[in-house]
Structure 1
Amino acid sequence: MQDLFISYLKDKSSGATSFVDEVASVLDIGYDAAYRRVTMKTNLSLEESITLAKFYKISLNKLYEVGSQNTILTEKSPIISNASDLEDYFRKSIENLKPLTQLKSASILYSAKDIPLFYTLKDSYITRYKIYVWLKLTNKEMTKNKVSFDDFISTIPTSLLEQAFELGQTYNYINITEFWNDNTINGTLQQIVYFFESQLLSKRIALKICDDLEDIIHHVEKQTIQQSIINSKNNASYNLYKSDLLTMSNIIMVKTTHKKAFFVPYTVLEYLKIEHDETCAIMDDFFSRQMTNSKLLVHSGEKDRTLFFNKMLQKINKLRNQISIDNPSGFE
């Protein structure tokens, strides 16, 4: 494997000096030590391999692929286990997204098994409720204790909310294509049912969350019709596809003119980031085929579009009515 890697590096070498001298300089070792590594008399350490890969601008996937065409490397997001971790997650997401807002070519494709994160990051009850749900699912202490949302809402750190709101606003400046189906709203509805039935969510606030959820559906419908992001100062485009053939997965793909990456969730918020060129090309092609097999709602006719959004609004109204009589089960 090392001989293939060394051969690959030689092809990338500048040629300005001897390859051995160049390796010695990059690794900050003597000529003899570099010669032993180049001639495979001494094995390269993992740290040395990574240093060389970075210098010769070889991706870690390329480094790992040598001799293994069916294996790729992924980057795992940090574990979220408390409010501080969640705030860091929002902050890091903002840092990653902001460069995209400066690129007209940047776009996001979102397979929405659940309502996309950024719709729930506004100054609303549903934002605070989502934070409560996420921490209930990721924080061991919150999982064990019986703190209600009504009590929790006043304890949310201001800095956490500010980061959440900023992240939600950052998405306003990126071109977005989403894939929804009739079940995309169900996860959020079920969360309301669960905590209401557990007596951890009061009737008064449960109804307010339903109101916020209805506002989101109206917001998405308006964006769908105008094909642009509401409140976007750079006229970011928006397209919504109704996908009846495939089950959504919450996979997000980010594309620019020169680069692609996609994110695969494996817990509530944690994800695997994949930048491997060939795999990204496969995923990009998959999204393209999904578009072919889905309805672009702005072109599907007013009747189909209205039926799609009304079906979600009817689910919210049904849940709202059942909460009012203390019987939220069977909202679907």
Structure 2
Amino acid sequence: MQEQFIQYLKSKTLDSTSFAEEIASVLDIGYDAAYRRINSKTSLTLEEGVKLARHYKISLNQLFEVGNQNTIVADLSPPIHNIKGLEVWLNQSYNSVYPLTKLKSASIIYSAKDIPLFHTLKDSFLSRYKMYVWLKDVDSNMTRDKISFDDFIKNIPESLLESAFKLGQVYKDINITEIWNNTTINGSLQQVLYYFESGALSKELALIICNDIEDVVRLIEKQAIQQSLVGSENKAIYNLYINDIHTMSNTIMVKTPFQKVFFTPFTVISYFKIEHQPTCELMYEFFEKQMSISKLLVNAGEKDRSLFFNRMIQKINRLRERIIIDNDAFDFE
């Protein structure tokens, strides 16, 4: 057990050559004593295990997880109950993502059940609308007070917008692979239709949001063809796969030279963070399998690319028509 624990700690440090010195410093013991613990010649005490767990930011639950292939532990993202909680979530997400921009080989794989949020986090009505939808799901006061989107944008804090735009910008400097299908856009369109029909979204703003969604689709098409993220300082790579078989899940995998981590949805935009490496390997293998049976859009023929994106534009146009004429019967299929 101790040997497995020590190996786990080594995977959490970037400089294995000074690992013994780091252990000695954390435990306030000599180099030789640290070396004996690393090589399991001396057993770690409970107090020493706790000190190491704190230093390497490992929960005591994760100590139990080490070596147990049938038990994994997940970290839960910060709870969101109001605007303040959403801003904290955006800032913590930025702090998690930013270090990846400094690792040239870091990459993200995104199983896109919905349009990935970082495509929408820019200065647009769509960005503000996404935040409105998230908050309507978690803030009971907004539901009780029947806050409309038109009212919401009049009082949205500037600090919240800055946090959102900053997070959207930092994603441009990371290599990203996305897996979409023909329904990926449907959730965003359904949200617009729902709040328009409920009277919480005016016709004028609903149509502007439709324009913003079309702008996102057009930009994604451009990035998919050129295989790079527009506006990236790091010349980050962008690959878009189209999968006609599986339903996507909004699961995100982060891959670095040191480890793999994936984030899977919990509620709204809350997520579970999984660092258990055998489980991460299984998820990575699943993503690789999905990509192997998907079309990399840059390699697809012009006809296939045009059909895929035109189908999304047609859905947006049907939503526009629905908003303008206000008929009852409508769907995206």
Instruction: Tell me the TM-score normalised to structure 1 length.
Output: 0.85
2:319 paired residue number: 319
Structure 2 residues without counterparts, runs of 5 or longer: 10-17, 30-40
- Conservation of the 8 A alpha-carbon contact between 1:5 and 1:66: no
Shift of 1:63: 2.4
Change (3 A) 1:199 1:304: same
Shift of 1:23: 11
1:171 paired residue number: 171
Supply the AA of the counterpart residue of 2:219: H
- Conservation of the 8 A alpha-carbon contact between 2:26 and 2:55: no
Change (3 A) 1:122 1:39: closer
Find runs of 4+ consecutive structure 1 residues off by over 6 angstroms. Answer: 6-10, 21-24, 55-59
1:248 paired residue number: 248
Aligned counterparts of 1:173 and 1:23: Cα–Cα separation in 2: 34
The more displaced of 109-118 and 252-261 is: 252-261
Structure 1 residues without counterparts, runs of 5 or longer: 27-37
Q: Output aligned runs, 1:286-325, within 5 Å.
A: 286-325=286-325
Supply the AA of the counterpart residue of 1:284: Y
Aligned counterparts of 2:76 and 2:263: Cα–Cα separation in 1: 10
What are the superposed Cα offsets for residues 103-159 of structure 1, whole Å, 9 maximum, x if unpaired? 110100000000000111111110111111010001111122211111111110000
Find out whether 1:265 has 2:287 as its counterpart. Answer: no
The more displaced of 243-252 and 322-331 is: 322-331
What are the superposed Cα offsets for residues 143-176 of structure 1, whole Å, 9 maximum, x if unpaired? 2221111111111000000111111111110000
What are the superposed Cα offsets for residues 61-91 of structure 1, whole Å, 9 maximum, x if unpaired? 7621357420011111110001011111111
What are the superposed Cα offsets for residues 21-59 of structure 1, whole Å, 9 maximum, x if unpaired? 999867xxxxxxxxxxx999xxx76x7643244579988
Supply the AA of the counterpart residue of 1:180: W
Aligned counterparts of 2:252 and 2:155: Cα–Cα separation in 1: 31
Find out whether 1:88 has 2:88 as its counterpart. Answer: yes
Shift of 1:250: 0.1
2:228 paired residue number: 228
Aligned counterparts of 1:329 and 1:125: Cα–Cα separation in 2: 26
Shift of 1:285: 1.1
Aligned counterparts of 1:50 and 1:114: Cα–Cα separation in 2: 40
Aligned counterparts of 1:192 and 1:164: Cα–Cα separation in 2: 20
Aligned counterparts of 2:82 and 2:188: Cα–Cα separation in 1: 21
Aligned counterparts of 2:161 and 2:226: Cα–Cα separation in 1: 29
2:281 paired residue number: 281
Aligned counterparts of 1:258 and 1:24: Cα–Cα separation in 2: 24
1:238 paired residue number: 238
Percent of aligned pairs with the same amino acid: 57
Supply the AA of the counterpart residue of 2:89: Y
Supply the AA of the counterpart residue of 1:90: L
Higher gyration radius (CA): 1
Shift of 1:275: 0.9
- Conservation of the 8 A alpha-carbon contact between 2:4 and 2:67: no
Shift of 1:94: 1.0
Aligned counterparts of 1:253 and 1:323: Cα–Cα separation in 2: 37
Change (3 A) 1:307 1:39: closer
- Conservation of the 8 A alpha-carbon contact between 2:4 and 2:66: no
C-alpha RMSD over aligned residues: 3.0
Change (3 A) 1:144 1:52: same
Aligned counterparts of 1:7 and 1:235: Cα–Cα separation in 2: 38
Aligned counterparts of 1:7 and 1:259: Cα–Cα separation in 2: 16
Change (3 A) 1:203 1:94: same
Supply the AA of the counterpart residue of 1:208: I
